[in-house]
Structure 1
Amino acid sequence: MATTADGHMHERRHIPERRAMARTHSAKRWSAMDWISTLLLVVGGLNWGLVGLFGFDLVAALFGEMSALSRVVYVLVGLSALYTLFAAKKMSHA
């Protein structure tokens, strides 16, 4: 037990224990939107990796070069990036 400046007694905890408690209290369960956004960002990142390394656009190969469906995938990946930016900003202020 240690005494604070105002004379109150409190229990000191070891740093690893405090870190573990902080993780459990601040851990937030991912929503469905978080999972979908992450999945789309991984798809987009892998696609851009393939484009950069091999000049191969997987989305275009699957759904057609600039077809309506491939454009929807591209837009959803972009929206996922925006969602993730705003979610990360919101979490950093929490």
Structure 2
Amino acid sequence: MTCSKLSAIALLVSAIGAINWGAVGLFDLNLVVWFSMLIKLPILIKYIYIIVGISGLFSLFDAFACMFSK
């Protein structure tokens, strides 16, 4: 299976999003909110969630395309 740069980036961002949700579930620590407040840009939270969501959808589409392409 070949992996484009866009697929690799989308998968990496999705994995980081999954780690964030794991931290929320296990430790009640939202790393996105923590990081955004650390650099004093709370508007960044919305954009990070949008980017992670788009990356997740792209990774899902990419996985299905890979499974059904033969």
TM-score by length of 2: 0.83
AA aligned opposite 2:30: D
Deviation at 1:67, TM superposition (A): 2.2
Fraction of identical pairs, as percent: 33
Q: How far apart, CA to CA, are the structure 1 residues paired with 2:17 and 2:63?
A: 18
- Equivalent residue number for residue 52 of structure 2: 77
Q: Which has the larger radius of gyration?
A: 1
Higher strand share: 1
AA aligned opposite 1:48: W
Q: Give CA-to-partner distance per residue, 1:63-89, whole Å, 9 cap, x none.
A: 13x922121111111111110111111
Which residue of 52, 63, 69 corresponds with 2:25?
52
TM-score by length of 1: 0.64
CA-atom RMSD in angstroms: 1.5
Segments ≥4 residues shifted beyond 6 Å: none
User: In the alignment, is residue 91 of structure 1 matched against residue 58 of structure 2?
Assistant: no
Q: Give CA-to-partner distance per residue, 1:1-26, whole Å, 9 cap, x none.
A: xxxxxxxxxxxxxxxxxxxxxxxxxx
| Gap runs ≥5 in structure 2 | none
* Residues 1-94 of structure 1: pairs in structure 2 closer than 5 A: 27-28=1-2, 30-64=3-37, 67-94=42-69
Question: Which of the pair has the greater relative contact order for Cα pairs under 8 Å at 6+ separation?
Answer: 2
Higher helix share: 2
- Count of paired positions: 66
